[in-house]
């Protein structure tokens, strides 16, 4: 199932490269952001269905990028993605002004419904809602931190 997700994610990544370049990335200054880097990668992330609702309300109000990470506890690929990508200081620094939410679809019906809305077919699944756009782009999780940042940046253009 993870292979299928990888293939689907690569298709989505190619779409990210074709995004209109009129939107600029999020500003790179915040005193609270440096504090966020001292904890583990989940510091500053909303969680589950209630968190998703708050994150989406923030996204609509602030028009900042929103990241949605969908994972399950038993997935070894999710743990690798968390350890190698989401925990990387460069990725955490890059994402410090992004609205972030993590969802485990096995934790409840509402969480399952959110994953279904994104048409999740495997784990990990990572989506970006660019600011001021009415689309969602799925990012491929099997890349280096540098590649992840570059692909994410392309979704913001």
In a domain? residue 23 = no
CATH code of 84's domain: 3.40.30.10
In a domain? residue 131 = yes
What is the pTM for the complete model shown? 0.77
pLDDT value of position 157: 84
pLDDT value of position 38: 61
CA distance 143 to 88: 12
pLDDT value of position 134: 82
pLDDT value of position 112: 98
In a domain? residue 140 = yes
Encoded tokens for 22: 């009129």
In a domain? residue 25 = no
CA distance 74 to 62: 34
Total of domains in the chain:
1
Contacts of 37 (CB under 8 A, 6+ apart): 43, 89, 92, 93, 96
Q: Which range marks the domain in which residue 119 is found?
A: 2-12+42-155
Question: Measuring CA to CA, how many Å separate 135 from each of 4, 20, 53, 56, 146?
Answer: 22, 12, 17, 13, 24
Contacts of 139 (CB under 8 A, 6+ apart): 9, 12, 13, 16, 126, 127, 128, 148, 151, 152, 155
Mean pLDDT by 10 residues, the chain (157 residues): 37 34 34 54 96 96 96 97 97 96 98 97 96 89 96 92
Q: What is the β-pairing status of strands 99-103 and 125-129?
A: unpaired
Task: Report residue 103: phi and psi, to 5°.
Answer: -130, 130
In a domain? residue 33 = no
pLDDT value of position 11: 34
In a domain? residue 21 = no
């Amino acid at each position: 199932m993870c292979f299928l997700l990888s293939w689907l994610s690569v298709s989505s990544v190619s779409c990210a490269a074709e995004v209109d370049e009129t939107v600029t990335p999020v500003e790179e200054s915040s005193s609270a952001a440096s504090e966020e880097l001292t904890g583990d990668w989940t510091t500053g992330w909303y969680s589950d269905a209630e968190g998703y609702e708050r994150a989406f309300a923030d996204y609509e109000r602030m028009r900042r990028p929103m990241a949605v990470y969908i994972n399950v506890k038993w997935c070894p690929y999710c743990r690798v993605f968390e350890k190698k990508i989401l925990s990387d200081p460069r990725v955490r620094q890059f994402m410090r002004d992004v609205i972030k939410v993590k969802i485990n679809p096995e934790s409840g019906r509402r969480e399952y419904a959110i994953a279904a809305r994104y048409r999740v077919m495997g784990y990990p699944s990572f989506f970006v809602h660019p600011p001021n756009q009415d689309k969602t782009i799925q990012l491929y999780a099997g890349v280096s931190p540098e590649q992840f940042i570059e692909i994410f940046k392309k979704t913001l253009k």
